[in-house]
């Protein structure tokens, strides 16, 4: 690949020519290692946009991968509302650094974010016109042989030209910035190890690296809400992860319902495709809403749940001295007392009997002392489950001291939420358990060290009394996690 030397940080770029063809005129944007320039194609005299990624020492592999994927993706696309790909090549930067450049058609128009920053509030009619245009682009992208999910639809990534006299107030719209795209197989979701997108416009499932066609619909819905309210989604009222935009913008009932449909937190509650969303928008009919099943917090529950669009944390308090724990504690205390008496008696015997008695008593001492931390956890220990944009973690702790910490897993590895119900027939009875599956790792609520010990040793036919969570609490947590992750619940 040929290379060209130039200095991207030079303000006067009009004399710099790349590939002997592209004369740099102006730097349009700069973000970390990425820069965007306005240039002139000296062969055609047309204006073009050139994106440059610098290969300096701080470059991460995923940045290079995303840039190369953008170039590959743009070569596949042919749509009048997507700036046309022209070329990409390697460039030589200052201080011996290298970089990659992508050349695209130039669109003479600002982003929609420019209008929002200037204080413009778009009307419902204008928002509908924008929605139609972008949905047509998404229909094209999602219908390709290898469908493309944009993953970063925001006001910043939609350009609008000056409207013609017969266009009203909305000009030609263009979707740009394909650096976060995901390519996936038909009828499948995609899972990525990295979380790409823009906070406030990303659907809940995208925080875990899971993306579907409906993920783009959520981002488009949030973009329209921003245009209609003039506010970033994070600054609008929220309730149960849903944006209460209707408290700020006065819209028709049908369009309000349509926007709520587009921005449903649970992915399966959104339109099944961009085409279905477009048809519903054109028809103007409201959805036939099914009665929502409300899962309130169980009465009397001491569970602590903190959630935001970026983080969810569950704290399971100690079980305390429940009747079964008291019985187990008395049994453990009795065992240790018996060991103590056995040891005292052995100390008064001859050396041979003493050694024999102590050797027989050591395993019993080990069992009794091993049960003490378990009982301590049951009475004073807490379990913390935490999910954020990067990973899921589960911690057992006593007085803030972590006594057991299973390895954390990337959010992108999460594949399902399972409610495992009690067994039937001759199987050992177990309580309902909530399991989050992350590839070969399981993060489980509903069990605890004492429950696991009792189940493993089969000390009782009904160890469910040793669980620290009730079935209603686990059902409620399952639905909270399902809504936050955008994943369905599997009942096993």
User: Residue 111 has what DSSP assignment?
Assistant: B
| Longest Cα–Cα distance in the chain | 111
H-helix or E-strand spanning residue 361: helix 351-380
3-state secondary structure of 30: strand
Q: Single out the catalytic residue among 152, 156, 177, 216.
A: 152
Based on the residue annotation, tell me whether 105 is a catalytic residue of this protein: no
d(CA 192, CA 181): 11
CB 56 within 8 A of CB 97: yes
> Please, which residues have CB within 8 angstroms of residue 468's CB and are 6 or more apart in sequence?
316, 317, 318, 319, 378, 383, 446, 448, 451
* DSSP class of 230: S
Cβ neighbors of 329 (< 8 A, separation 6 or more) are: 321, 375
Alpha-carbon distances of 468 from 152, 193, 427, 432, 452, rounded to whole Å: 41, 33, 21, 11, 12
**Long-range CB contacts (< 8 A, 24+ apart) of 300-304?**
301/470, 301/472, 301/473, 301/476, 303/469, 303/473, 303/476, 303/477
Distance of CA 201 to the CA centre of its chain: 12
Q: Which residues are catalytic?
A: 152
């Amino acid at each position: 690949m040929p290379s060209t030397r130039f200095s991207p940080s030079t303000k006067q770029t009009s004399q710099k020519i790349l590939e002997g063809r592209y004369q740099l005129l102006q730097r349009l944007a700069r973000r970390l290692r990425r820069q965007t320039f306005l240039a002139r194609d000296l062969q055609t005299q047309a204006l073009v946009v050139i994106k440059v990624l610098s290969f300096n020492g701080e470059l991460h592999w995923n940045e290079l991968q995303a840039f190369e994927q953008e170039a590959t993706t743009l070569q596949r696309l042919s749509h009048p509302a997507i700036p046309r790909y022209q070329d990409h090549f390697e460039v030589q930067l200052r201080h011996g650094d290298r970089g990659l450049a992508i050349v695209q058609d130039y669109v003479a128009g600002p982003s929609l974010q420019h209008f929002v920053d200037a204080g413009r509030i778009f009307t419902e009619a204008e928002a509908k016109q924008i929605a139609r245009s972008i949905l047509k682009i998404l229909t094209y992208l999602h219908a390709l042989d290898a469908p493309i999910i944009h993953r970063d639809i925001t006001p910043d990534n939609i350009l609008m030209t000056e409207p013609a006299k017969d266009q009203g107030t909305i000009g030609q719209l263009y979707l740009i910035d394909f650096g976060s795209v995901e390519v996936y197989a038909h009828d499948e979701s995609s899972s990525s190890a990295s979380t790409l997108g823009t906070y406030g416009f990303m659907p809940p499932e995208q925080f875990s690296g899971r993306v579907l066609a409906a993920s783009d619909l959520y981002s488009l819905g949030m973009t329209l809400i921003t245009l209609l309210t003039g506010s970033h989604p994070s600054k609008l009222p929220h309730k149960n992860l849903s944006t209460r935009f209707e408290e700020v913008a006065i819209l028709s009932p049908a369009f309000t319902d349509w926007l709520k449909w587009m921005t449903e937190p649970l992915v399966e509650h959104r339109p099944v495709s961009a085409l279905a969303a477009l048809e519903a928008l054109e028809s103007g009919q409201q959805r036939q809403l099914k009665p929502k099943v409300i899962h309130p917090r169980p009465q009397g529950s001491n569970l602590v749940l903190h959630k935001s669009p970026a983080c969810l944390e569950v704290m399971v308090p100690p079980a305390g001295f429940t009747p079964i724990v008291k019985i187990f504690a008395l049994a453990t205390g009795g065992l240790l007392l018996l060991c103590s008496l056995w040891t005292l008696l052995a100390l008064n015997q001859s050396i041979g009997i003493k050694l024999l008695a102590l050797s027989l008593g050591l395993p019993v001492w080990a069992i009794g002392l091993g049960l003490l931390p378990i009982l301590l956890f049951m009475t004073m220990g807490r379990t913390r489950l935490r999910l954020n944009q990067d990973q899921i973690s589960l911690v057992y702790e006593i007085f803030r001291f972590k006594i057991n910490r299973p390895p954390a897993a990337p959010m992108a590895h999460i594949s399902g939420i399972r409610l495992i119900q009690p067994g039937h027939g001759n199987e050992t009875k177990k309580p309902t358990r909530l399991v989050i599956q992350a590839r070969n790792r399981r993060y489980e609520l509903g069990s605890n060290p004492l429950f696991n010990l009792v189940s493993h040793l089969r000390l009782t036919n009904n160890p469910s009394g040793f669980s620290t969570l009730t079935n209603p609490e686990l059902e409620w947590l399952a639905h909270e996690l399902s809504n936050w992750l955008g994943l369905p619940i599997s009942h096993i």
